[in-house]
Structure 1
Amino acid sequence: MTREKGELNTLFADKIKLFVCGPTVYDDAHIGHGRTYISFDTIKRYLEFKGYSVFYLQNITDIDDKIINRAKESGIDSKYLAEKFEKRFIEDMAALNVTSVNYFARATDHIEEILDQIQRLIDKGYAYVTETGVYFEVAKFEDYGKLSNRKLEDLETHRIDIDSSKKSPHDFALWKNREAPEYAGEPVWDSPWGKGRPGWHIEDTAITEKYFGPQYDIHGGGLDLIFPHHDSEIAQMEAVSGKEPLVQYWMHTGFLNVSGEKMSKSLGNFITIRELLKEYSGDTFRLFVLLTHYRSPIDFSEVSLHQAERNVSRIKNYLENLDEKINDIFEKGNLSEDLLKLAELEENEFDEELINFDYFKSNYPALKEGVNEFFTSMDDDFSTPKAIAAIFSFIKQSNKDLEEDDLIIDDLLAIKHWFKDISQILGIDFFVYKDETSGNEAELLDIIADVRLKLRAEKKYDLSDEIRDKLISLGIEVSD
């Protein structure tokens, strides 16, 4: 609301209630949805890492004009259409490792709560009934538009409605009557004001009031939802409860463009998550998203995706080398005193996976610097780009020490512990490595490596570098 950063203060100590606007399930989710939900999945993961108990609630809009119209076009029942695309949405989120939502609340499962909230708005004088439905009287709510900073007198160009039954064109629907013949066959519910269905804005406040009460900590969504959706949510809930603010913090993700243009089917640049995952992994798209701050606009392109793919491979290759060093030390028995004592306690049978050296207490300078920069960045409004930059800076600094065996086992295990936490926070499992190449593939790579050596010896660096870059784009790390 203030457009300023501040300390996180929750309504209840160490507990956070987080609500994010969910999808309208009439089509497959697109990469813009993916951007928003990856961002909030990561935010929840980090808040939990910091020790908060977070309840993440997301609605599913399963009744809407878009759903009804698409069902009519397809010649199928709107309920079946909504269920189909809700299922596909959940599958798409799982493919992106967006797994932190605690509860998905369907609008149609909360009709009772919606009707109750509408009736209370009528009783308090904020809503009125017409032959076409029930409407929220915007003029009665003095601060309408306070999130978007829009004044009522300036809304004329933004809101056009030809419904002459309304007191003002700015008033929005809480309940839409659907008893007229032209609506025959559409889904309807009984209400005191006639058979019909809920408006868009009321479903969110009815759902959050049921699970969170009249006030909660964080409300998230895309930047395009600020007006009129979030402004209307504020008006509804603060009017009916008499309490403000509705939420402590508003968080909005920036727009996603495709090669500099707004994504749309008419431009032919509309990309669903399913289409994306035919070419790229969920890990690649997650890292691509997190390389931009959640509030900033993000530009989707093949070049950016390839770069993210290379970055994922770079981290995995580093950790694969780290694991090889750790395993080699354990096999040779070159353990520190602390590990030897642990081995005695475990009767010489213990697993390095169970040993978590506290990386916050590590004396390895590069690790201390990397850890500090990573968490300082995440603490600063979840700045994932800076946090990821800290990871790559650490890899660059520590690679030489790793290759030259200058790190003791305690340092190696501390590094591994840190990267396990990074994997959990970012939602990317960097410890899943590629399968070993087959014999023929290994021989082919040896031939390519020999060719590059000869090219470099002949000072044909451009061609050598071109081969290296193409190998890297395939996830094969090359070091000269």
Structure 2
Amino acid sequence: MEIYNTLSKRKEKFVPREPGRVYMYVCGPTTYNFIHLGNARPIVFFDTVRRYLEYRGFRVKYVQNFTDVDDKIINRAREEGCDPLALAEKYVEEYFRDADALHVRRADVHPRVTAHIPDIIELIRRILDRGAAYVVEGDVYFDIGAYPAYGKLSGRSLEEMQAGARVEVDPRKKHPMDFALWKAAKPGEPSWDSPWGRGRPGWHIECSAMSLKYLGSGFDIHGGGSDLIFPHHENEIAQAEAATGETFVRYWMHNGFITVNQEKMSKSLGNFFLVREILAKYPPEAVRFFLLSTHYRSPLDFDDEKMDAARRSVERIKNSLRLLQEALSRPRREGKGVADEEFLAALERCRRGFVAAMDDDFNTALAISMWFELAREANTYLHAAGERSVCREALEKALDLAAEFNGVLGIFAVDEATGRMRLEERREEGGGLAEALLELLLEVRQEARAKKDWATADRIRDRLKELGIILEDTPAGPRWRRA
């Protein structure tokens, strides 16, 4: 398995700190609003990384934090006239609603900044003791001059970083790029006691403290969006390594930006989209498919046309799986013929291709193509069989392989009781009236067919087709799908 390491700027063979175990930290959201599509990309991708590592037999300890005290939270709370900590708690819960909808598994630990103030204070104390920070009027600043390796992640010099950053002019700093570890309290803001007076943590120290607490120095993978490389992750490294004298992280992974019409998604441009809004228009499996359909280090361009294509792609996979399930419900042969052996060999090629794709820096786009190859091989096999019985082992192997792929990619939800993928259409929260009416139409059509009223049955089928709903009459009853 190879991973592109942002620190070395190349792919490296993955060798974890401990054989058979992986320790992994991913920066989570600042909880002052619903998550947007840019937040969702790392959330979904690193969930997939974790799933694949487990698929390959590793025991994974996965930590994803919440920044629940921050300038953005404080400013939003002022606008809404509420308590900043209550606002943050509200959006932590909203985050889980959206993440659950996208089939993102909960992390082993979801630490919050406000629950780790003593850990943060202790880490700042260690940095001060090593001479890499200084106190000015209740503020504590990291002294970048005391850490010669500063800039090794972004690969930029101090002059380049300063030119590209909006640096607050503060004559109290030793260097303009020195950054806050602890901020002295301001009226009306959340604050905590510390050896330097009441205040709150700076942004960067939070992740250093929480990741070291749960994973220790030299943990395996630290992930996040590429916008975090500088200054956030650069500063994390400086703080942690100045405090411990040890390597902080072995592999740094960063996903590319979400763009809209080739422009980076941002609030200033007014082109950012909340996940909640997108899920109101598209099923979650299509959204997750879209987020994984491009290699994680490449930009991902968003528009309705691409989302529609993602939904159609998901439907193709669904239809193939339904056909396999229906074939399994009919009489099957236990023995294997030439066609069955060829199909089983094709399935094994798909499995090997999937593993090779994911082993090569988690190439989800190529891995997804192996699922389409599985669907194509299955459709060809079933079409050739026609009405004849097919091999039970071959059908079960195909469905098992699809379940393996889904276990990694997480496209479809899984029924906890049966362990099977859920392929039915999503019912919107609040009732699913349109789908309930569709089911009623199908009942009426079935009654017409039973009475040999073919004109009515055909009229319902044809009108639904005009509306984009395809009906298929199967031995197990009518089935519908979007065109």
State the TM bucket, normalised to the shorter chain.
0.7 to 0.9
- On the 8 A contact 1:24/1:60 being kept in 2, the answer is yes
Select which of 192, 196, 199 maps to 1:193.
196
Select which of 409, 423, 441 maps to 1:433.
423
1:403/1:67 CA distance change after superposition, 3 Å: same
Q: State yes or no: 1:107 paired with 2:109.
A: no
Provide the C-alpha distance between the structure 2 equivalents of 1:302 and 1:163, rounded to a whole number of angstroms: 46
Q: State yes or no: 1:368 paired with 2:348.
A: yes
Q: State yes or no: 1:202 paired with 2:205.
A: yes
Partner of 2:365: 385
- Range moving further from structure 2, 396-405 or 163-172: 396-405
- On the 8 A contact 2:343/2:381 being kept in 1, the answer is no
* 1:76-225 matches, cutoff 5 A: 76-159=82-165, 160-178=167-185, 183-225=186-228
Deviation at 1:43, TM superposition (A): 0.7
Q: In structure 1, give the amino acid aligned to 2:391.
A: I
Provide the C-alpha distance between the structure 1 equivalents of 2:211 and 2:463, rounded to a whole number of angstroms: 63
Runs of at least 5 residues in structure 1 that lack an aligned partner in the other structure: 338-358, 453-466
Provide the C-alpha distance between the structure 2 equivalents of 1:142 and 1:441, rounded to a whole number of angstroms: 76
- On the 8 A contact 2:23/2:219 being kept in 1, the answer is yes
Instruction: Give a deviation string over 1:135-175, Cα, whole Å, max 9, x none.
Output: 00001100101000011232331332211111111100000
Deviation at 1:397, TM superposition (A): 3.2
1:81/1:100 CA distance change after superposition, 3 Å: closer
Partner of 2:416: none
**The residue matched to 2:24 in structure 1 has which SS?**
strand
* 1:446-461 matches, cutoff 5 A: 446-447=458-459
* 1:290-329 matches, cutoff 5 A: 290-329=292-331
Provide the C-alpha distance between the structure 2 equivalents of 1:469 and 1:232, rounded to a whole number of angstroms: 54
1:374/1:445 CA distance change after superposition, 3 Å: farther
Instruction: Give a deviation string over 1:213-235, Cα, whole Å, max 9, x none.
Output: 12200000000000011111111
Partner of 1:464: none
**The residue matched to 1:176 in structure 2 has which SS?**
strand
Q: In structure 2, give the amino acid aligned to 1:380.
A: D
Deviation at 1:266, TM superposition (A): 4.1
Provide the C-alpha distance between the structure 2 equivalents of 1:137 and 1:445, rounded to a whole number of angstroms: 77
Deviation at 1:185, TM superposition (A): 1.6
1:116/1:314 CA distance change after superposition, 3 Å: same
Partner of 1:398: 378
Instruction: Give a deviation string over 1:68-125, Cα, whole Å, max 9, x none.
Output: 1111111111111111111111111111111141111001111101111111111110
Deviation at 1:390, TM superposition (A): 1.6
Deviation at 1:23, TM superposition (A): 0.7
Partner of 1:424: 407
- Range moving further from structure 2, 148-157 or 214-223: 148-157
**The residue matched to 1:12 in structure 2 has which SS?**
coil
Q: TM-score with structure 2 length normalisation?
A: 0.84
Partner of 1:457: none
Partner of 2:449: none
% identical equivalent positions: 42
- Range moving further from structure 2, 94-103 or 405-414: 405-414
Deviation at 1:22, TM superposition (A): 0.8
- Range moving further from structure 2, 397-406 or 189-198: 397-406
Deviation at 1:131, TM superposition (A): 1.1
Q: In structure 2, give the amino acid aligned to 1:88.
A: E
* 1:214-253 matches, cutoff 5 A: 214-244=217-247, 246-253=248-255
Q: State yes or no: 1:476 paired with 2:459.
A: no
- Range moving further from structure 2, 192-201 or 423-432: 423-432
Provide the C-alpha distance between the structure 1 equivalents of 2:116 and 2:137, rounded to a whole number of angstroms: 24
- Range moving further from structure 2, 440-449 or 306-315: 440-449
1:445/1:471 CA distance change after superposition, 3 Å: farther
Partner of 2:434: none
Provide the C-alpha distance between the structure 1 equivalents of 2:17 and 2:75, rounded to a whole number of angstroms: 41
1:166/1:400 CA distance change after superposition, 3 Å: same
Deviation at 1:271, TM superposition (A): 1.1
Deviation at 1:398, TM superposition (A): 3.1
Q: In structure 2, give the amino acid aligned to 1:412.
A: L
CA RMSD of aligned residues (A): 2.5
- On the 8 A contact 2:445/2:460 being kept in 1, the answer is no
**The residue matched to 1:135 in structure 2 has which SS?**
strand
1:175/1:317 CA distance change after superposition, 3 Å: same
- On the 8 A contact 2:468/2:482 being kept in 1, the answer is no
Instruction: Give a deviation string over 1:277-320, Cα, whole Å, max 9, x none.
Output: 11111111000111111111101110111111111111111111
Runs of at least 5 residues in structure 2 that lack an aligned partner in the other structure: 1-6, 414-420, 426-437, 447-453, 471-479
Deviation at 1:368, TM superposition (A): 2.3
1:267/1:189 CA distance change after superposition, 3 Å: same
- Range moving further from structure 2, 431-440 or 312-321: 431-440
Deviation at 1:379, TM superposition (A): 1.2
- On the 8 A contact 1:61/1:107 being kept in 2, the answer is yes
The total of aligned residue pairs comes to 433
Deviation at 1:441, TM superposition (A): 6.4
Q: In structure 1, give the amino acid aligned to 2:363.
A: S
Provide the C-alpha distance between the structure 2 equivalents of 1:134 and 1:434, rounded to a whole number of angstroms: 55
- On the 8 A contact 2:138/2:196 being kept in 1, the answer is no
Provide the C-alpha distance between the structure 2 equivalents of 1:177 and 1:471, rounded to a whole number of angstroms: 61
Provide the C-alpha distance between the structure 2 equivalents of 1:397 and 1:113, rounded to a whole number of angstroms: 54
- On the 8 A contact 2:221/2:250 being kept in 1, the answer is yes
Provide the C-alpha distance between the structure 2 equivalents of 1:317 and 1:59, rounded to a whole number of angstroms: 38
Provide the C-alpha distance between the structure 1 equivalents of 2:149 and 2:62, rounded to a whole number of angstroms: 28
1:191/1:132 CA distance change after superposition, 3 Å: closer
Provide the C-alpha distance between the structure 1 equivalents of 2:466 and 2:359, rounded to a whole number of angstroms: 37
